[in-house]
Amino acid sequence: AIQMTQSPSSLSASVGDRVTITCRASQGIRNNLDWFQQKPGKAPKLLIYAASSLQSGVPSRFSGSGSGTDFTLTISSLQPEDFASYYCLQDYNYPWTFGQGTKVEIK
């Protein structure tokens, strides 16, 4: 199975900060990577699909990049509602695998 290594596992940031989260795949997955946001007690929400496509309704401060093995989720200016956990998911081949998650906390 493809392993997804996500970093950092947690970070503290302030409103207005630029935040970057990375995912590295154990083998090439082309652009078959999605990013999700999850708030406590809620189901995850799709932010970015196919590495860089913004899901409908998601604010443009979220962006994704990368291909092959290295991927990045960027929040250009952190907002109060962005404090949450973030996960990457490779959907290149089965079994699909998630990264371990990144918890974004208030500094």
Partner 1 sequence: QAQLVESGGGVVQPGRSLRLSCAASAFSFSNYGMHWVRQAPGKGLEWVAVISYDGSDKYYADSVKGRFTISRDNSKNTLYLQLNSLRPEDTAVYYCAKGFFDDSTSYGKHFDCWGQGTLVTVSS
Is residue 27 within the footprint of partner 1 (CB under 8 A)? no
- Number of residues interacting with partner 1: please give it, by CB under 8 A: 25
Is residue 96 within the footprint of partner 1 (CB under 8 A)? yes
Among 19, 25, 29, 36, binds partner 1 (CB under 8 A): 36
Select the span of 16-24, 44-52, 64-72, 76-84 touching partner 1 (CB under 8 A).
Answer: 44-52
Structure tokens, 78: 């952190």
To 5 degrees, how large is the angle CA 71–CA 29–CA 25? 55
How far apart, in whole angstroms, are the C-alpha atoms of residue 97 and residue 68? 15
Residue listed under structure tokens 């500094």? 107
User: Which SS3 state, helix, strand or coil, does residue 81 take?
Assistant: helix
Q: Which residues bind partner 1 (CB under 8 A)?
A: 1, 32, 34, 36, 38, 43-46, 49-50, 55, 87, 89, 91-101
